[in-house]
């Protein structure tokens, strides 16, 4: 799947997360999730730079950004998700609920894009 074919889904009240489909097959999806820090005055999205040592370390190029979560999900709802040894930081219940909505959205995307999806 080329960069132009990637399916991006915004999650959160203000698009705080992006789900990018990195690979799509008839029975499973591969994905990456990026945390969106905000936008520039021109509307370009800003992410934390991969390997940042102090947050924020903004970068506009998603290819240079830190991947928050990556994984795959299959037709039966089984999934594997990885966080690259980074702590999850939440500023209150609202942030936790947004993250829970992100996880649910990954399953919604699978149900939408995998024809044989039966994962509930």
Q: CA triplet 83, 89, 92: central angle to 5 degrees?
A: 140
DSSP string, 9-64: EEESTT--EEEEEEEE-SSEEEEEEEEEEEE-TT--EEEEBTT-SSS--EES-GGG
120 in a structural domain:
no
Q: Which helix (H) or strand (E) holds 71?
A: strand 69-74
Q: Indicate whether 73 pLDDT > 80.
A: yes
Question: Could you tell me the two tokens for 97?
Answer: 């609920």
| Mean of pLDDT values over 43-60 | 87
Number of structural domains in the chain: 1
Q: Indicate whether 57 pLDDT > 90.
A: no
Residue 13: what pLDDT? 66
118 in a structural domain:
no
| Spatial CB neighbours of 105, under 8 Å, sequence gap ≥ 6 | 9, 11, 19
12 in a structural domain:
yes
Q: Indicate whether 20 pLDDT > 90.
A: yes
Q: Indicate whether 46 pLDDT > 80.
A: yes
62 in a structural domain:
yes
Task: Using the structure block, give the residue that is written with the tokens 């705080």.
Answer: 16
Rounded distance between C-alpha atoms, residue 103 and residue 7, angstroms? 16
Q: Indicate whether 4 pLDDT > 50.
A: no
8 in a structural domain:
yes
Domain that holds residue 55: 3-113
Residue 5: what pLDDT? 54
């Amino acid at each position: 799947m080329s960069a132009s074919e990637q399916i991006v889904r915004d999650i959160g009240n203000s698009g705080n997360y992006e789900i990018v489909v990195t690979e799509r097959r008839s029975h499973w999806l591969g994905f990456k999730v990026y945390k969106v820090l905000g936008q520039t005055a021109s509307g370009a999205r800003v992410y934390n730079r991969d390997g940042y040592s102090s947050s924020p370390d903004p970068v506009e190029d998603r290819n240079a950004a830190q991947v928050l979560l990556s994984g795959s999900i299959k037709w039966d709802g089984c999934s594997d998700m990885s966080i690259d040894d980074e702590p999850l930081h939440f500023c209150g219940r609202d942030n936790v609920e947004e993250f829970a909505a992100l996880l649910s959205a990954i399953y919604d995307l699978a149900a939408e894009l995998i024809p044989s999806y039966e994962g509930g």
